[in-house]
Each structure stands twice: as structure tokens, then as C-alpha cells.
Structure 1
Amino acid sequence: MTTPVHSDVVVVGAGISGLVAARRIAEAGYRVRVVEARDRVGGRTLNADLGDGQVAEVGGQFTGPGQDAIQRVAAELGVTTYATHDTGTHLLDLGGRIRPWSVSEPWIGPAASLSFLAAQRRLNRMAATVPPHEPWRAPRAREWDAETLGGWMRRHVPVPRARVLLAMAVRAVWAFEPEDVSLLHVLACVNAGDGLQRLMRTRDGAQQDRFTGGSQRISELLADGLPEPPLLRHPVRRVVQDGTGVTVHTGPGTLLRADRVVVAVPPQLAARIAFEPRMPPGREQLLARSPQGTALKYLAVYDEPFWRAAGFSGQVASDRAPVASAFDNTPPAGRPGVLLGFAVGGPARRLLELPPPVRQERVLASFARWFGERARTPRQVIVGSWSEEEWTRGCYAGYLTPGAWTAHGHLLREPHGRVHWAGSETATRWIGFMDGAVTAGERAAAEVLTATAARPAPVGARDGRSG
């Protein structure tokens, strides 16, 4: 029989949320062990090596005003930020026409512009009534949770071009379609993210800054600071509770024994873990109704950011598949030049049905349409296909379908006995963002520390034995 490895707390998942939780628990003097299915730390953040010490981010990368938690943790680790390239002409590719564009002044014709801005204001007003920590308690929660955002748009955004632009924004911000998601869920996310304008913008918005050295560096430094390194390539299969603690069963056959467990993985992955005793039926339903967004991220690498000399910022918003939005992802040194293209939502689903070489050809055709034929021949293409990644199953984050918040939302953060929940989907600020991952990890750590302080530590947890 395998001898369990003893700790005070086991954290499942070595993304930002799990590692922040582990760091806070370790700082309080408890022995904590992190287990991770992947062969690396970082979760939905991942750096790609561009050579000469330069990196580009294949996963989550942006931060901005109001995202104080992730920036605080980065500062604790000595990771600085720099501005996303925002100089030059932004482009809007809408209805077959390419034109200059400003998110701050979204001019698409008088009627469409007014309709779009009116929808923004109305959604912001509605969102202000939805408490992000308890969306089900909003005054109109049942009404808003009973319909999709798409249904609301058809009734309240009368100008077709304005609806198209709003759908483009929804895909870019959350990687799902308006028809996929509960209106209440979107309103909670809007409130948690300081309004639609901030979620959509680069300057003074959620895409304003990037982390020097790439966002995965935050997880790497968090892991390096733990007393015991994470156990990689250890997918968790079962979590068994009894009267004295919890046993975590991993794929290689390792057993981990602890007083408490923090599960910090996306909802679809949490649903694949066997819990004994079983989770409450309502929480199982909640996970079943929490699909992931669909996103592919293409990084086209060139010798230099040639589009800058032509006066372009590299930023594009488009209604033409497959690329919905683009950014200049060049590292701060200025070379190599990197164009970032997001395929998200429905267009990403359709792209995934094609062979990878065809996908790449179509993405580069989008870049060439905007920036000229030189964009068609990068020296390297790096792809983040998160829906095809076994231990992610989608990006950017999980979201709730209609009816889930009001039926089961109260169970989202409710501990299951000795099992606590983290991950950016459980956040109450910047839901689905790296910032939300930090606050969710800190909240779960606080729950564990409160519960652990109220009872004696398990035998062997802090007497030097690690199994």
C-alpha cells in the first residue's frame, strides 16, 4: 500500500490562484503541497521563448487600472509592468470595410453609434445593481438569469450594426457568444470589471499593460518561493474525506494526506475529479453548467514590427472570421515584431474544425488584409489552442449558462467539507482575469487558515515528516 505524503494543506492546480493560495498558507507557517497535472506551473498563463531573452505570452497576459491584486503580487515578486503598444492607427474591419477606429469614440455611423453607446450605458446601469459576490441577490436576478445576453440584445439594440459591434466586444472580452451566456452572468462580470468601457479598452482599460518577462513569470516565482516545489505531472483523480482529514489520489499513484484541500482548477476540470463523499447535487449541476470560452491565440513573429513604420498600432477589431481582434505583442526591446491575433467564440469553434495548417493560413490572411502582404510570411508562428489543451479545455474562463446563477450560484464558493474552491471563476472582482485568480486564491487561503486554526493540526503535519 502506498504511504501517504503528509501536509497541512494540499492545493490542486499550479496556476496563479492555486500558487497564491499556497503562498499565503505557507506564510502562515503551515506545510502546503501543490499538485499540478501539467509538466509546468502557470495554468492558463504560458510564455513562449522568442530568443535573445525575449518572450511572448501564449495565455493570459494583460493587466490594467483597477487590477490591484495581481499588480500587488507581481510587485512582491519583483515583476514590473510596461505599456501595451498603443501608438498609431487602430483599425475596425466591419461589414467588409476597413477604417480607422477608436474604442473610446466608436463611430460607425450616427444611428449605429448612438445605439451602441446607449446599449453600453444601459448594460452598465443594469450591472451596477448586480452584486458580483452574490449575483443571485440582484433585484431582477431571476428575470436576467432566464435569458441570454443575445436575447437581450435583440430586444434592446435595434440597429443591426450596433448589435454586431456589441457581439464583437463580447467575443473579444470573454471568448463566448452572446447566445451562450446568462445575461446575469455578463452583468456580474461587467460590475466586477469596472464597466464595459474599461473591459474593452487598452489605454485606461483592461489591456493597458503587460508583465515584464511574461505573465507566466509570476507563477514561476510564486512556485520558487514555496518551501516544497509543486508536484508536476500529477493529475488529481479522487479526493476522499473522512473524519480526520482528506486523501488526494493522483494519476501516478501518489497519495497526499492533509487537513484541508484547495481546488484551484477550471470548472470543467474540477468536474472530472471524483469526490468522496460526492459534492452536493447543486454544485455538480453548477459545474455542468459552466462551460469554458473558446479561444485560439496566434503569435506571428517577424524580424521587426514593420506595421509601426506604416503608422499602424497593430490593434484591430473585426467581424470577419477567423481573427476577431489583434494587438502588437512585440516585447519591450522592440524586436522581434510580434502580431497577436485572437480567434474567439463561434469563429474559433469553426476554426478548430479545420486542420492546423489551414487555420494558420487563414489567420495570416487576416493579418495580410490589415497590414499588407509582408504579414503573410512571419519567421515563426506560435499557437495557443487552449480548447485542445487537455488540462485547460477552453479559455479564457468558465461562464454560467442561463438559470445557473439563481439555481446554484450560492454553492460557487461554499466549501465541500474540507475542500475549498479557488480559481478565477470564483472571484468577485475581475471574474476570469488574473486579478480575480489572485483574490480567489487569497480568499480560499483565508478560509483554510480560519478552519485550520479552529482545530488541532493533523498528526505529522508540522512535526517535520513529509512522507
Structure 2
Amino acid sequence: MDERSAQQVAQTADTPPTRRQFLTMVGALGGAAVMYQVMGMMGMAHASPYAGKIDLGSAPPNTKVLVLGAGIAGMVAAMELRDAGYEVEVIEFRDVAGGRCWTLRAGDTYEELGGFVQTVDFAEGNYFNPGPWRVPYNHYGILDYCRRLGVEMEALIQINNNSYLHSATKFDGKPIRYREINSDFRGHISDLLSKVTNQGLLDEVLSDADKTNLLAGLRTFGGLDADNAYLQSNNASARRGYERAPGGGVDGAPIANDPIELSTLLDSGLWRSLATSEALNGSMPIFQPKGGMDMIARAMAANLGDLVKYNKRVIRINQDDSQVTVTYQDMDNGGAEVTTTAPYCVCTIPFSILSKIEHDFSDPLWEVIDSMYYASSIKVGIEFKRRFWEEDEHIYGGTTYTDLPIAQISYPSNDYLSNKPGVLLAAYAWGATAYQFSSMAPEERIQRTLDFGAQIHPQMHDEFKAGVAVAWHRVPWTHGCYGQWRDKEAQYQDAVAMDRRVVMAGEHLSYLPAWMEGAVLSSLDAITRLHAVATANAGEQ
């Protein structure tokens, strides 16, 4: 790396940076991963505020609460309200609980909007999570419920140095091991910063002792040689990999390979994916329930028992000064209309669905409901006859990122080294790409996923066994993946406020959208406020 490049980077540092400017520079040079680490050390990045099991106290005597929706938010509300002594009735549209906490297994049938029907033809024991698929270690709330309900968890490998980063137009379309891009990006940055330091361009902000420690740290961080350079060496290859790996016998000596040139690396854009799995909600360790994500929903539903009424389609929500009246169609009884009432209601129905239900909510709340749209997403799970990513390419868990429309491939973090078929999350994309996939029949979505995936794993076509493709705008109970605000800053308080006798809850009413933790925290906050109102009203009677 030439010194002129180092000087150009340093020319913008004429005055000591502000905290915001410093973080911006860190993010620009090191990416979001380094920036989040620095924010954590500065006390600016925070984990979930969950502080342990909630204690509502005692419910007012003979007080009932309707809970609309048996997703994570609804079931958390129902369990905690019941434990406080409330009479609880949960109304659920589907024939199972969980909402977006959903798993598809062998023999399951799924019908989406538009009439496409998919039957899952996986091997017994294999599964696919169309919705949530990860539980970060710092999502303390949902993990606490897993602990309390006995949901068995296992590690999910998010970052794997042996997986790939891929661009269809760079490196002749060949996938590059994650470790090579990661090591070379860190190495070149460390090389550059070492030159800046040795040129004295940081003398105004670093003491001699600071510079000595920084250079030592950069040699370790970047795999630099004794001259603080990132070049072909065993030191660098111990991270990025060897031309010939260390072995035994006559030819056991390792041979180092050449790092990717900085300009080539930057032009590839592959470094953009390095921080994807290291943000606060994506850094290791990450967990998954053994057997599928819906093990969480199943445990909650079992805890609630017959408090949950399934196959009930809410069509009307009204309230007056004393009660909430909910009308639903009983799909187990030919769609007959049934009315149920309670003094209070927790509504966890996604706003994408709630906007189509007759109600008399306040104008500010209705404005939020009506204006919130739901993100598009496509997830494709494909089962292969053998685990070729392990057998042929030595990839055990982790994620490959690509600029192809499939966006990423996630490798299973279970059943390693087994001879049974394995399921890949073979596509997980958002935005315009998801809309395009949504317009296709499921069979075409799967075929397109195989065609794109084969550019990374050529074995895909020959090893294909079965697949299922979930386009979230076609999911009947959500019409999208997660809530997106028109103006969150202006609208948020109107949405979370108690609307006479109804309070809303769900991931869309949190600052952790799309995560189950957001649903948990929103629900606990909602029922705390509902309980305060119910207690105050009871005291006035």
C-alpha cells in the first residue's frame, strides 16, 4: 500500500473529531461491526431492556381481558394477565398459535393468498422456519420465556469463516471464502492506519505510548508482519488460508498465498457483508430452538391450554365506556358470527390485517393503523439429498452472502456430519426482489432459487429433493413480514397509547421491529399500562 493513500485519508483530520464524527470515521473504515464494538465500549449500544419476570400484582376481582391474536405478543400478554388473576380469552385466526413464529415440517400443507398450495415433502425431522430463525443472546425477554417454559435451545452459527461471500460480476463470479475477505480487509486497513501513525499524522491525538500500543494492536488485529505491512506471509495465511496448508511428512511445510489487492477488494464490494452478522442483534452467540422455531409458540400455547380459541376470524371491534365487544366468525362452525365482551382488550393483530377490520378506534390510532405498511420478504427452504456443503466444501453452519437475488444462503446448525438429507435457507431477500418472487408460482420461486444458488454451489440441481417458498405478502394472517412506519417519530405515541379500553401490542409497536423480543417487550409494556388503568377504574367504583 502506498503512503500517498494513507496521507489522503489523514488529511481530513486537521482537528480532533467529535464523538459523532469519530464513530462515522470508524464505521467508514471498519464497518458496522467495529463501530458497534466501539459504541459498546463508549456505553452507546444497548441490549434488550428486559429486566426479568414482570409482577403486575393482583387483578381487580372478576375482570376479564380479551386478547386478539395468539402470536408471541398475544400469548405473553395472556400468560401474564392470567397469572395476575385476570380472566383471559384469546381469539386466534389460525388453527395453531404462533403467528409469524412458524415452522413447516414434513407433511404440512400451506395455502397462500392467490390459492397456491404447497405440501412440504421433507424427510422426517427436517424443518424450515419461514419467519423468525434466530434468537440473539441479548434478547433477554424471549430467552427468559424459553427458560421458564422449558424450550430446549441450541447454538445457531451465524458467522462462519469458511462460508462464502459472492458477487456475480467480481472474481469471475466465483465465491470467495468469508475468511479471505475478512482477513484482507482488516489487514489492509491495519496497514493503512499503521502508515498514517508512522508518518506522524496522528501525533495531535496520540501520545508516543498510545502510538506504540496502537501499532502493536494493529499487528495483531490485521495480521501484519514485523514491519507493519500486510503482505504474503504465514502470519497472514494463518488467518486467510494457505496455498498449501500445514501438513506432515516430506511436503508438510505450509505455503502462504497472496492477499487480494486492496483496490480489487474495495471494488468487489464484498466487504459490505462483513458487518451483517456483527451488529448488536446479530453477533454471536445466537440461539435456535431444537426442532424448529415454533417450539416456542407450542410451549406458550400448551401453557395457555383452552384459553386460546382457534379458527376465529375477528370481523368487528367496538368499545364504549364500560366494555369492549368483539365479533368473530367461528370457522369451525361454518363461519357463524359470535360476539364476546370484556372490560378490556389487548389487540396484537398486525395493522396490515387490522386495517381491514371494522372498528371504532380513535382517529389518531386509526391514522397509524391505516398508514402502516408491511415489508416484503421471500424465504425459500430447500432440502437436498445429501449435505454437500459439509461433505464437499466443509461448511458447518453460517451464512453465505451474495449480490444475486437470493441474497443469502444459511446452512443448518444441526445434524452435522449426518447422512440424512439437509435443509438450506436457500434464499432470504427483501424489497423489490421479494416482490418479484411473490409474483411467481412457488415452483418457479424454487427453480429460480436453484438456478441462482448453483452459481455458488453447482451441486444444487443434482442434489435437489424438495422445497417450499414463502412470500410474506401472500401470507394470509399478516400480508407482509413486519410493520413499517410512515413517520414513527410523530406517530409512535398515538399507536401505543391506551385507546379507551383497548391497547395495542406487537413487534410493530417496538424499537425492535421484526424480532420476537420486540413483541415481548411491547406486550409487557401494554399489559402494565392496561393493569394500571384497570386498577384505577376499580378503585373508583
Normalising by structure 1, we get a TM-score of 0.72
- Which residue of 1 is the match for residue 359 of structure 2? 275
- Which residue of 2 is the match for residue 422 of structure 1? 505
1:77 Cα deviation after fit: 0.8
In percent, how many aligned pairs have the same letter?
22
- Which residue of 1 is the match for residue 442 of structure 2? 356
Higher Rg of the two aligned structures: 2
Tell me, yes or no, if the aligned pair for 1:427 and 1:437 is still in contact at 8 Å.
yes
Structure-2 change in CA distance of 1:383 and 1:303 (3 Å) = same
Tell me, yes or no, if the aligned pair for 2:496 and 2:503 is still in contact at 8 Å.
yes
Give the counterpart of 2:177 among 73, 80, 100.
100
Give the counterpart of 2:301 among 198, 208, 223.
223
1:161 Cα deviation after fit: 6.2
One-letter amino acid matched to 2:312: H
Residue correspondence of structure 1 range 47-446 to structure 2 within 5 A? 47-50=103-106, 51-85=123-157, 87=160, 89-97=162-170, 98-101=175-178, 107=185, 197-201=279-283, 203-204=284-285, 208-226=286-304, 228-252=306-330, 253-276=337-360, 278-280=361-363, 282-309=364-391, 310-313=393-396, 315-321=399-405, 323-329=406-412, 331-332=414-415, 334=418, 335-340=420-425, 341-375=427-461, 377-395=463-481, 397-401=482-486, 404-428=487-511, 430-446=512-528
1:71-119 Cα deviation digits (max 9, x unpaired): 00011110122112455612112252322225976949979xx9xxxxx
1:68 Cα deviation after fit: 0.6
1:375 Cα deviation after fit: 4.9
1:240-297 Cα deviation digits (max 9, x unpaired): 1112211001123111110111111222122222222x322x3222223321111111
**Partner SS state of residue 438, structure 1:** helix
Tell me, yes or no, if the aligned pair for 1:239 and 1:246 is still in contact at 8 Å.
yes
What is the CA–CA distance in structure 1 between the aligned matches of 2:408 and 2:462, rounded to whole Å? Answer: 17
- Which residue of 2 is the match for residue 9 of structure 1? 65
What is the CA–CA distance in structure 2 between the aligned matches of 1:356 and 1:48, rounded to whole Å? Answer: 15
Structure-2 change in CA distance of 1:163 and 1:420 (3 Å) = farther
1:407 Cα deviation after fit: 3.0
One-letter amino acid matched to 1:99: I
1:169-224 Cα deviation digits (max 9, x unpaired): 99x89xxxxxxxxxxxxxxxxxxxxxx723454x34xxx22111222121122122
Structure-2 change in CA distance of 1:161 and 1:40 (3 Å) = farther
Tell me, yes or no, if the aligned pair for 1:297 and 1:342 is still in contact at 8 Å.
yes
**Partner SS state of residue 317, structure 2:** strand
What is the CA–CA distance in structure 2 between the aligned matches of 1:163 and 1:450, rounded to whole Å? Answer: 52
Structure scoring higher RCO (CA < 8 A, sep ≥ 6) equals 1
> Aligned-residue CA RMSD in angstroms?
3.1
- Which residue of 1 is the match for residue 3 of structure 2? none
1:359 Cα deviation after fit: 1.6
Tell me, yes or no, if the aligned pair for 1:263 and 1:270 is still in contact at 8 Å.
no
Tell me, yes or no, if the aligned pair for 1:300 and 1:378 is still in contact at 8 Å.
yes
What is the CA–CA distance in structure 1 between the aligned matches of 2:290 and 2:298, rounded to whole Å? Answer: 13
Structure-2 change in CA distance of 1:239 and 1:105 (3 Å) = farther
Structure-2 change in CA distance of 1:392 and 1:241 (3 Å) = same
Tell me, yes or no, if the aligned pair for 1:92 and 1:316 is still in contact at 8 Å.
yes
What is the CA–CA distance in structure 2 between the aligned matches of 1:223 and 1:66, rounded to whole Å? Answer: 24
**Partner SS state of residue 34, structure 1:** strand
Tell me, yes or no, if the aligned pair for 1:303 and 1:337 is still in contact at 8 Å.
yes
Tell me, yes or no, if the aligned pair for 1:59 and 1:384 is still in contact at 8 Å.
no
Larger deviation, residues 6-15 vs 101-110: 101-110
What is the CA–CA distance in structure 1 between the aligned matches of 2:184 and 2:437, rounded to whole Å? Answer: 28
Tell me, yes or no, if the aligned pair for 1:62 and 1:210 is still in contact at 8 Å.
yes
What is the CA–CA distance in structure 2 between the aligned matches of 1:164 and 1:89, rounded to whole Å? Answer: 15
**Partner SS state of residue 373, structure 2:** coil
Structure-2 change in CA distance of 1:261 and 1:106 (3 Å) = farther
Structure-2 change in CA distance of 1:439 and 1:90 (3 Å) = same
Normalising by structure 2, we get a TM-score of 0.63
- Which residue of 2 is the match for residue 464 of structure 1? none
Tell me, yes or no, if the aligned pair for 2:389 and 2:395 is still in contact at 8 Å.
yes
Tell me, yes or no, if the aligned pair for 1:299 and 1:381 is still in contact at 8 Å.
yes
Structure-2 change in CA distance of 1:292 and 1:165 (3 Å) = farther
Tell me, yes or no, if the aligned pair for 1:295 and 1:385 is still in contact at 8 Å.
yes
Tell me, yes or no, if the aligned pair for 2:135 and 2:288 is still in contact at 8 Å.
yes
Tell me, yes or no, if the aligned pair for 1:54 and 1:331 is still in contact at 8 Å.
no
Tell me, yes or no, if the aligned pair for 2:161 and 2:178 is still in contact at 8 Å.
no
Structure-2 change in CA distance of 1:18 and 1:228 (3 Å) = same
